[in-house]
Amino acid sequence: MSTEIEDGVGFRSKRGPILIALMLATGLVAIDATIVATAVPSIVEDIGGFSSFPWLFSAYLLAQAVSVPVYAKLSDVLGRKPIILAGIGLFLLGSILCGLAWSMPALIAFRVLQGLGAGAVQPVAITIAGDIYTLAERAKVQGYLASVWAVSSVVGPTLGGVFASLEIWRWIFFINIPLCILAGWVLVRTFHENVDRTNHRIDYLGAALLTTALSLLILGALEGGQAWAWNSPISIGVFVVGAVLFSAFLLVERKAAEPVLPPWVVSRRLLATTALVAFGIGAVMLGLTTYVPTFLEGALSTSPLLAGLALAALTLGWPISASQAGRFYLRIGFRNTAIIGIFITVAGTGILALTASSPSVLLVAAACFVVGLGLGLVATPSLIAAQTSVEWNERGVVTGTNLFARSIGSSIGVAVFGAVANAIYASSGGPNPQSTGAASTAVFFAVLVSAALTVVAVLAMPREASDHDSVPADIGAKATQSER
């Protein structure tokens, strides 16, 4: 039975309250990704722990990334509603505890709890959107959800700076309380689903092995060259143990009745290629969001606010093109739309890399905007193509895998781009305007290479929306949602 109700996309439609709740829930994750950064000096001044503050970000991102595949599978087994509500609840609890934190280790531990909540919210929100909207409507909905990130890229750092300047940094976390309650309440009241209740054999061992293995591998990528040297015993040990546990996970999944990460996720050409596309998107996004502000502030001595606004052009371009992607893929197909998008992305990253030697704030902002336009035309059709190719009971895993691949791309991007920049800083005697410009230029060229490699993944996508001979305009779901 189909889940979609074609009454338009927008806040006034029957599904409008659900869309608002999904945007609120997504906003929690989006704002939290940026709001803490500007308040770090105030946090350190109050509770100490300067040497450990990078873990405020690493711990959150790590917990979020490794939990996505598990939540995605559970949403296919138990339904979307209980999983997203559990995620909002965890995020709420983590936010309250972060606001009450008495030391940096305690704050880092509570950030892990926040990350575990975020790991459920983002993929399940996108999966719900895929469930209740038609193929023609999903691009517009992705535009709405992407706009949340655009707004958060500006609002997050601004709010963080305001709270820090007023010496009330704890409200960075307390502000999440009413938002969590509102998002949860609206979902409880408006989103209803009837899930086929059958006996399931949850793959606890596989989930534990996957979570532990990915935690170690991503930790090694995030902290290698930062907290420890790449060739140090701890770095080698982290990667070796992570690889062994991941190998054990693969063996367990071959025998599991309901594997947490089914083998068909990587055996189907469409799903494998769209995951590779998401990997490349993650690397490109992380490279620009990390080094564009550093480049402008370090090489041009621009203010953090101006640098942030230049970067915001990236997140402004994305929702504009994402909301219009439906018009393209309904006429020329998912693959052709993604091809247009990835070449626009390559053009934008090329402009940034080739003009970095004679930098201009306006030129950087324009290049970021072009990249955002391109990424919106890549990310949206590739994700929707993957979602459309499966039924309801597989859509959560597919969505989670896509977002997880993006997180892995970001993590490896951090490692590679950081190694490139650190090598130039080391040869130049440390950060200064000249070395910062040179390091950022090198990173931008590395981002260009990442975008060019993503072209290969896009071209490898099948021409149809599925590996099967034919695919209907949209595939019916196994659960029904009704908005009352």
pLDDT (tens digit, 9 = 90+) per residue, 178-237?
989 998 998 998 888 776 666 667 778 888 888 888 888 878 877 777 777 778 888 899
Entry pTM: 0.81
Mean pLDDT score of the chain, rounded to an integer? 82
If residue 481 lies in a helix (H) or strand (E), which one and from where to where? strand 480-481
What CA–CA distance (Å, rounded) separates 469 from 82? 35
Q: Which residues make Cβ contacts (< 8 Å) with residue 90, sequence separation at least 6?
A: 113, 114, 116, 117, 120
Strand, coil or helix: what is 469?
coil
| 480 bridge partner residues | 194
Q: What is the average per-residue pLDDT within 117-121? A: 91
Packed helices 392-427 and 433-459: angle between N→C axes, nearest 10 degrees: 150
Quick one: fold of 263-469?
Answer: Growth Hormone; Chain: A; (1.20.1250)
Measured between its terminal Cα atoms, the distance across the chain in Å is 18
- Residue 479: predicted pLDDT: 35
Residue-wise pLDDT tens digits, 26-77? 888 888 876 776 677 778 888 887 666 667 777 887 888 888 888 888 888 8
Tens digit of each residue's pLDDT (9 = 90 or more) over 132-171: 888 878 878 888 888 887 777 777 777 777 787 787 889 9
The larger pLDDT score, comparing residue 310 to residue 243, is at 243
Instruction: Kindly report the length of the chain.
Output: 484
Among the residue ranges 72-81, 118-127, 395-404, 425-434, the one predicted with the least confidence is 425-434
Same topology, domains 1-191 and 263-469? Answer is yes
272 or 168, which is more confident? 272
- How is the chain split into domains, by residue range? 1-191, 203-257, 263-469
Q: Please determine, looking at this structure, whether the domain spanning 1-191 carries the CATH number 1.20.1250.20.
A: yes
* Band of pLDDT at residue 378, cut at 50, 70 and 90: very high
The whole-angstrom separation of Cα 126 and Cα 253 is 26
Taking 50 as the threshold, does the pLDDT of residue 468 lie above it?
Answer: no
The residue-averaged pLDDT of 278-285 equals 92
Reading phi first (left if > 0) and then psi (alpha if -120 to 50, else beta), residue 333 is in left
Neighbours of 167 (CB within 10 A): 10
| pLDDT higher than threshold 90 for residue 370 | yes
Q: Does position 304 have pLDDT exceeding 70, yes or no?
A: no
The more confidently predicted of residues 215 and 87 is 87
pLDDT of residue 200: 65
* Distance from C-alpha of 22 to C-alpha of 128, rounded to nearest angstrom: 8
